[in-house]
Structure 1
Amino acid sequence: MARRAKPVELHLIQGNQSRLIKKEIEQRQEAEERLKPKKNRVKPPSWLDKVAKSEFTRLAKELAELDLVTNVDVNALATYCDAYSDYVQCTKIIQEEGLVVEHTNKAGETNSVPHPLLTKKKQLHDQMRSLAIEFGLTPSARAGLAKPKKEQKPQTSFEKAFGDSV
């Protein structure tokens, strides 16, 4: 499986391990710059609760300093923060009630079972992780959009005559 692309600046900071030449670096920088949306409306939506708004504000500030959050990221970031808020709430309930709870089944028997919110907590964790990747909230996901197209080499007379059949 191929590695996710990184923004060219991050790639250069980490030592240009894939040995990009100056022209490739310039192409990537130009492509990344063309793909940057505006940043004038990065505010938490009104439907977020207090914990989610706080997380949104914190993340938006950090991402803005890195120049990684834009207007098109607001809903993805808000959804991430909403999942984060639910995750925090699940964690608090589990801490209060314990990892194991008593459950009475239909037959009237009482059993000790893992807390049902443990499953929900794992789902929220997975949702936060996939949102960070899927919606471009990580540098590598965003850089994947900025990969320059490979330059087409001019065809030789042999390739013109015989095409890709060889």
Structure 2
Amino acid sequence: MAGNGNSGRPSLPPSLHVLNGNRSKRPVADLMSDVQNPAVPVAAPPVPDFLTPDAVTEWHRAVEALTALGWISTLDTMALATYCQAFADWQRFQRMIVERNSNSLDGLGGEVQTFKTGAQQTSVLRQLANDAEKRANAAAAQFGMSPLARRNMKAAPAAQGDLFPNAERDAAASYFS
């Protein structure tokens, strides 16, 4: 039975072909061209105007790191906004829980909700914080913001330049240019 486009191993990014010694025997010039000119250019998307101030702070922090790794483009606005807003929501709910815990007699005012009948359940704040945490973790995984997600992400190799100066090579190059 023949496979389809989804069968078999996923192809490796060109940077890994280069780092692994080009066992695939693809032309090195093509690999380097693919590494230096990605299909989707690395660029920071504009900050959406609907984010809360805490989400905007997280946006700037995340965009700086993701741009340095080459893992973001202008196409990623929604995924990054989802992560930043979920992170800001989680922060807000955590602060509210800490405040209620410090003001309650048993220290669980933000964690446990007690009804008139004496029944207890997880408080609404804790449920909202847990939901925001799940949303933030799911969106963050798309950008490699967890140890497990980073394992599968490959950063574009940074331009390295010469480790040692080579005056003879530079002098020879000046004669041929």
> When the two structures are superposed, what TM-score results if normalisation uses the length of structure 1?
0.60
Selected match of 1:90 from 93, 98, 103: 93
Cα separation, partners in 2 of 1:25 and 1:112, compared to 1, 3 Å = farther
The answer to whether the 8 A contact 1:5-1:140 is kept is no
List alignment gaps of at least 5 residues for structure 2.
1-7, 102-107, 145-149, 155-177
| 1:54-103, Cα deviation, whole Å (9 max, x unpaired) | 00001101111112211011221111000000000111111112344342
Selected match of 1:121 from 104, 129, 149: 129
Name 1:137's counterpart in structure 2.
143
Cα separation, partners in 2 of 1:66 and 1:121, compared to 1, 3 Å = same
SS in 2 for 1:110: coil
Cα separation, partners in 2 of 1:24 and 1:121, compared to 1, 3 Å = farther
Relative contact order (C-alpha < 8 Å, sep 6+): which is higher?
A: 1
Give me the whole-angstrom Cα distance separating, in 2, the residues matched to 1:96 and 1:84. 18
Name 1:21's counterpart in structure 2.
23
Tell me how large the CA RMSD over aligned residues is: 3.6
Selected match of 2:39 from 35, 45, 51: 35
SS in 1 for 2:48: coil
The answer to whether the 8 A contact 2:90-2:129 is kept is yes
Q: Provide the aligned length of Structure 1 versus Structure 2.
A: 132
Structure 1 residue 50 displacement after superposition: 0.6
Percent same amino acid among aligned pairs?
A: 21
List alignment gaps of at least 5 residues for structure 1.
144-166
Give me the whole-angstrom Cα distance separating, in 1, the residues matched to 2:76 and 2:113. 42
Give me the whole-angstrom Cα distance separating, in 1, the residues matched to 2:134 and 2:56. 20
The answer to whether the 8 A contact 2:112-2:120 is kept is yes
The answer to whether the 8 A contact 1:43-1:57 is kept is no
> When the two structures are superposed, what TM-score results if normalisation uses the length of structure 2?
0.57
The answer to whether the 8 A contact 1:103-1:110 is kept is yes
Q: What letter is aligned with 1:78?
A: A
